[in-house]
Amino acid sequence: MAFGSPSVKDHKSSGFIKNDAGSSGNLKITNSDTYAVQPDPARHGKYLWKIWASGFTLLNPGTQITVTVQKVSAVLYQSGYAAAQLHAPVATYDNLKETIAASGSVTVRSLKEPGTTLRADNVVFYAATHKIVATGHVVYHNGKTQMEIHTNELVGDTVLKTLTSNTGGSAALPKGF
C-alpha cells in the first residue's frame, strides 16, 4: 500500500509546500519550524503519524520523497489512534519504504501503556505494519510492572505492548517478582 506524500506545513509562511515540478521532477527544499502529517489511506480522517520539527530538508528525485527533520517530536498512530510519542535529534521519512527512521538518543513513550518507554540509538517506525525496530543500547521500561530490558535490538508494536528480541540481553524485574 503506497501512502503518497505527507502534508508539510511551513510555519514561517503558513503555507503548504508542494512539488510543482511533477512526479518526475527533482526538488529540494530546506526550511525550519515544520509540522507534517501522513493521512491513513485506510481510515478517512485518521493519521499514520504527525511530526513537529525545528527544521527539515526535503528531497524528491522522481517518485521517492525523503524528508529529514531535526529536533523531532512525533505522534505515531496504530489503527488510526495515537499510540506513542517519539522524540529524536534527527529523523528521516521515506515514502517508498513507508518508514520514519530516527537516530541519536531516541525515546518512544507509549500513550496506551502509562509509564512504558523505549530508549535506543536508532528507531525505525514501519507505518504500514505499525512496527517499531529499536537498535543500539536499547532500554525498555514497562510502566505497569517496572520491568526493564537491556538489549541491542528490540522489535515491537507501536503501543510497546508486544515485544521480541533475538539478540539476547538482560531483564531486571522489580522486587517482589
What is the pLDDT at residue 23? 38
Name the CATH topology of 7-172: lipopolysaccharide transport protein A fold (2.60.450)
- 88, 144, 163, 165: CA torsion to nearest 10: 90
Q: How confident is the model at residue 11 (pLDDT cuts 50, 70, 90)?
A: very low
pLDDT tens sequence across 37-95? 888 888 888 988 888 888 777 777 677 788 888 999 999 999 889 999 999 999 998 88
Ordered by start, the domain boundaries in the chain are 7-172
Q: Which residues pair with 38 in a beta bridge?
A: 49
Q: How confident is the model at residue 14 (pLDDT cuts 50, 70, 90)?
A: very low
CA 47 from chain centre, in angstroms, equals 12
pTM above 0.85, yes or no: no
Exposed/middle/buried for residue 49 (C-beta within 10 Å: 0-12, 13-18, 19+): buried
